Amino acid sequence: MQFTACLDDSVIDDEKLFWGKQRRAACRRTVTSAIALRAFCCSAQKLRTLRSRLEIEDLRLKCKSPALYRGQMVLVADALETLSAGVLIVSEGGTIEYANAGATRVLRLPREALLGRNITDVLLPMETLLGSINGPEARREVALELADGTVSSLGFTVSGPNSNLGWTVLFQEIGGVLELRRERDRLLQMAALGDALPSILHELRNPLAAVTSALEVMVEDAPVEFRDDLHAILWEVRRMKLTLQGVGGLVRPVHAEQDVAVDMAIEEAVRILTPMAATKQISLRAEVPTLPLLPLDWGVVSGVVFNLVKNAIEACSSDGEIVVRAGLSSDVAANGATNSTFTLQVTDSGIGMSPETLAQCRQLFFTSKAQGSGIGLALCQQIAESSGGKLEIQSAVGVGTTVMLVVPLRSKDRPSLRRRSGAKKSVPPKNVI
């Protein structure tokens, strides 16, 4: 017996279109990061240009008018005080002869504590600073413990010397710039993944559907002594299938032409995820009533459950609790028409989200977890919007989070509503992942 699976080309096209949009968004963020990353280099270049001009003006003013020269130096000092970056003027021996307001802010030391000290005591050894001049960009980065005990990432550049000003050291905190750089690299990696993802999913879905079908037949026909092993294999294959649905199934809308038992899809997804929750001693249960057959996509509903429950498991500690609920509601509009709405809700007792995290959690690739992808909630938001529904999120730090997907059923999709006869539930479409 041969098992085959078919995948609509329109689904792949939708996935490529979706990930294409996200890749362009990632590129726009990368440009923003690059602009911020160059800001420090531009400041250093401007200071070097200013030094060159001052050296020329210095000679002219000294010869023409000493009084005018002193006035000009006061203006230069005032200009240096307005810089957000720190500026130190150091003698050839390493003694600090001038420090602007930016230097006192960055180094957490008053001006009196800087003047007259050796730069080795407050920043870096003079040899290290001078050695950076021969670098490709005459710029370096260093993690430095400051006077108040905090550790800060500093970027610095050195220029000079000349007979009047000595060496000039420009530096500033670049922790935000480094964070932007890391975010840029992560976005580029995720964008590359998004470019390849539709093709990868296409190559995996059909063989996995065939393996699932074959195992289901083998479980029924196998001798009793082999059934437990085959059930275990089938369970792992179904978990792989659910993972694929969670990653790629949400690119298409939730509405479908074929009626399925949505409650069965939800319960199956919860059963597959229960062992994952059990490893953290988390209680996971589904409170889903028997629903009529609904024209919704089995794979998309399973994918939503996978993403929301997986996030909830990661947010909960031991002895946490996760509850999955679903329902169908109806109301009568002003014109007398009956509107039906499907809701899917996942509630956890985890750590919750701060208002800042809650405001950004729907953005693609945004994550507050070290190993997170930032894809799950963004894809759930995408499915809600493409289906004319909404994704509601309520969260409080230390209390937990509730995520609810609300999807209206289209006029032609509203059930009459066809009830399933007997206790037997309908099964998912064959070879559809």
Asked, for residue 183, whether it belongs to a domain, the answer is: no
**Of 314 and 239, more confident:** 314
pLDDT at 431: 40
313-363: pLDDT as tens digits: 988 988 899 999 999 988 766 666 678 899 999 999 999 999 988 888 887
User: pLDDT band for position 2 (50/70/90)?
Assistant: very low
Task: Say what the pLDDT of residue 272 is.
Answer: 84
Q: Which whole number is the average pLDDT over 410-428? A: 49
Residues 263 and 408 in one domain: yes
Least confident span in 66-75, 113-122, 374-383:
66-75
Looking at 163, 178, 193, the residue that finishes a domain is 178
Q: What is the domain range of residue 141? A: 37-178
Q: What pLDDT score was predicted for residue 229? A: 79
Number of domains in the chain: 2
377 pLDDT band, cuts 50/70/90, is: confident
393, pLDDT greater than 90: yes
Q: Are strands 283-287 and 321-332 parallel, antiparallel or unpaired?
A: parallel
273 and 402 fall within a common domain: yes
**What is the C-alpha separation between 102 and 233, in angstroms, rounded?**
64
pLDDT band for position 130 (50/70/90)? confident
Region 218-242: what's the mean pLDDT? 76
Is the pLDDT score of 216 beyond 60?
Answer: yes
> Quick one: pLDDT at residue 124?
86
Minimal CA–CA distance to 328: which of 303, 297, 295? 295
User: Are the beta carbons of 199 and 248 closer than 8 angstroms?
Assistant: no
Identify the pLDDT of residue 168: 86
Whether residue 185 has pLDDT greater than 70: yes
Higher pLDDT, 58 or 354: 354
**6 pLDDT above the threshold of 60:** no
How confident is the prediction for the chain on average, in pLDDT?
75
Secondary structure (H, E, C), the chain: CCCCCCCCHHHHHHHHHHHHHHHHHHHHHHHHHHHHHHHHHHHHHHHHHHHHHHHHHHHHHHHHCHHHHHHHHHHHHHHHHCCCCEEEEECCCCEEEEECHHHHHHHCCCHHHHCCCEHHHHCCCHHHHHHHHHCCCCEEEEEEECCCCCEEEEEEEEECCCCCCCEEEEEEECHHHHHHHHHHHHHHHHHHHHHHHHHHHHHHHHHHHHHHHHHHHHHHHCCHHHHHHHHHHHHHHHHHHHHHHHHHHHHCCCEEEEEECHHHHHHHHHHHHHHHHHCCCCEEEEECCCCCCEEECHHHHHHHHHHHHHHHHHHCCCCCEEEEEEEEEEEECCCCCEEEEEEEEEEECCCCCCHHHHHHCCCCCCCCCCCCCCCHHHHHHHHHHHCCCEEEEEEECCCEEEEEEEEECCHHHCCCCCCCCCCCCCCCCCCCC
- Whether 116 maps to a domain, the answer reads yes
Residue 133 maps to which CATH number? 3.30.450.20
The average pLDDT across 288-311 equals 88
Mean pLDDT of 363-372: 68
Name the one residue in this structure whose structure tokens are 């490529």: 16
When comparing pLDDT for 272 and 1, which is higher? 272
Q: What is the mean pLDDT of residues 48-73?
A: 55
> 22-41 b/e with 16+ CB inside 10 Å = b?
bbebbeebbeebeebeeebe
Examine the fold and report which residue of 150, 178, 206 is the final residue of a domain before the chain moves on: 178
Please name the residue that has the structure tokens 């195992």.
215
| Listed residue (3, 432, 12, 412) closest to 215, CA to CA | 3
pTM for this model (two decimals): 0.52
Amino acid code (one letter) for 296? L
**Residue 208, domain member (yes or no):** no
> Is there a domain that residue 382 lies in?
yes
Per-residue pLDDT at 184 = 76
CB-side neighbour CA atoms (13 Å) of 98: 16
Say what percent of the chain tops pLDDT 70: 65
Output the domain CATH number for residue 305: 3.30.565.10
Q: Which residue has the tokens 């008053």?
A: 110
One domain, residues 260 and 407: yes
**Cis amide leading into 295 (omega within 30):** no
Residues 150 and 61 in one domain: yes
In a domain, 418, yes or no: no
Of the two residues 114 and 147, the one the predictor is more confident about is 114
Q: Phi and psi for 289 in degrees, rounded to 5?
A: -75, 165
**pLDDT of res. 424:** 40
408 and 272 together in one domain: yes
| Rg of the chain (C-alpha set) | 32
